[in-house]
Amino acid sequence: MNLIFLGPPGSGKGTLAANLHKLTGLPHISTGEMLRGYIRAGAPLGLRAKAFIDKGELVPDELVIEMVRERLSADDCKNGYMLDGFPRTVPQAEILDGFQTIERAVLLNLDDETIIARLSGRRVCSACGNTYHTSMLGESTACGKCGGLLVQRPDDSEATIRNRLRVYHSQTAPLVEYYRGKGILSEMSVEGTVEDNTGRLLRLLGMEKS
Ligand code: AP5
C-alpha cells in the first residue's frame, strides 16, 4: 500500500509510522528525517535546507521533490511505503501523482495546544533518531535503544513550533480537501496514547493481525 500521513507538526506522524514499520515492514519515508540527514552530512542540499528548517518554513518544492523521487525509485518501495511529511503543498501532491499512485491518505487530528506541549518536550537521539518525550524519560539523557545522546531539535522552540503550525494551516492543510476529493482520505484523532493510536491505525488500514 502506498500511504501518506497528513497532519500538523507534532501530531505523531513519525511515531506512528515508526510503529507501523516495525509491525508491517512498510518502509517509512520521512522527508524531515532525510533533510536532517543531509544537514548532518554537511551535504549541499542540507546546507540549503537548514536555513528554512530552522525558521520553521518549508524547504522549496524543487529541492524536496527530487529527493523523494529518487527515494521512491528504490527497490524497497516497490511493494508500498509510508510517506511522512510529504507532500506538504498542493504542487508537491500534483507532481507526486504524476509518478506514483497514492492509495490512502491518513489525517491525524490534534489541537494546537497539545501539539505545543508534545513538541516542546520532544527529545531525539542524536545517533539513531529515535524519538522520546520528556514525560517518559525521567532523568535520563540517553537513548534507550542505542545509548546515544538525546537532544532537542532546533526547530522545537515554542516560537518556531508556532510558525510551523501557521505554515501547516496555510500551506499543507489544503491537502486535506485534495485527498478527500480523490476519495482516499481517512481521519483519526490522536489524543490517546501511542499504543491506542497504533491499534486504531492498524484497524483503520485493515492491517490488524487476526
Ligand atoms: P518534519 O520532520 O516532517 O517535521 P513536522 O511535520 O513538523 O513533524 P514532526 O516531526 O515535528 O512531528 P510528528 O508529527 O512526526 O510527531 P512525532 O511523532 O515526532 O519536517 C521538519 C522540517 O523539514 C519542516 O518544518 C520543513 O522545513 C522541512 N520539510 C520536511 N518535509 C518537507 C516537505 N515535503 N516540503 C518542504 N519542506 C519540508 O511526535 C511528536 C512528539 O509527541 C514526540 O515527543 C512523541 O514522543 C510525542 N507523542 C507522539 N504521539 C504521542 C501520544 N499519543 N501521546 C503523547 N505523546 C506523543
| Residues contacting ligand 1 via CB (< 6 Å) | 7, 9-15, 30-32, 35, 52-53, 56-59, 64, 85-86, 88, 92, 118-119, 122, 131-133, 155, 164, 190, 193-194, 197
How far, in Å, is the centroid of ligand 1 from the Cα of 169? 14
152-163 residues labelled b (16+ CB within 10 A) or e (exposed): ebebbeeebbeb
Q: Could you tell me which of 89, 42, 87, 40 has the C-alpha nearest to residue 67?
A: 87
| CA geometry: angle 24, 132, 170, nearest 5 deg | 85
Active site residue 122: yes
Residue located via cell numbers 539513531: 128
**What pLDDT digit, counting tens, does each position of 125-142 carry?**
998 888 999 998 988 889
Q: What is the C-alpha radius of gyration for the chain, rounded to an integer number of angstroms?
A: 16
Whether this model's pTM surpasses 0.75: yes
**Ligand 1 atom with minimal separation from the 122 CA:** 44
For residue 7, the model assigns a pLDDT of 98
Residue located via cell numbers 488500514: 205
Phi, psi of 164 (to 5 degrees): -60, -40
Active site residue 166: no
**What pLDDT digit, counting tens, does each position of 25-76 carry?**
999 999 999 999 999 999 999 999 999 999 999 999 999 999 999 999 999 9
Q: Who contacts 175 (Cβ-Cβ below 8 Å, separation ≥6)? A: 6, 87, 88, 89, 90, 93, 105
Q: Could you tell me which of 88, 77, 129, 82 has the C-alpha nearest to residue 106?
A: 82
The DSSP call for residue 126 is: T
Active site residue 153: yes
The answer to whether the CB of 166 falls within 8 A of the CB of 174 is no
How far does Cα 93 stand from its chain's mean position? Answer: 15
Mean pLDDT of all residues in 184-200: 97
Using pLDDT thresholds of 50, 70 and 90, give the confidence band for residue 205: very high
**Ligand 1 atom with minimal separation from the 197 CA:** 53
Please say if the pLDDT value at position 11 is more than 90: yes
Q: Is 10 left (phi over 0), alpha (psi -120 to 50) or beta?
A: left
Burial of 22 (0-12, 13-18, 19+ CB in 10 A): exposed
How far, in Å, is the centroid of ligand 1 from the Cα of 15? 9
For residue 210, the model assigns a pLDDT of 61
Strand order, beta sheet including 150-151: 131-133, 122-125, 150-151
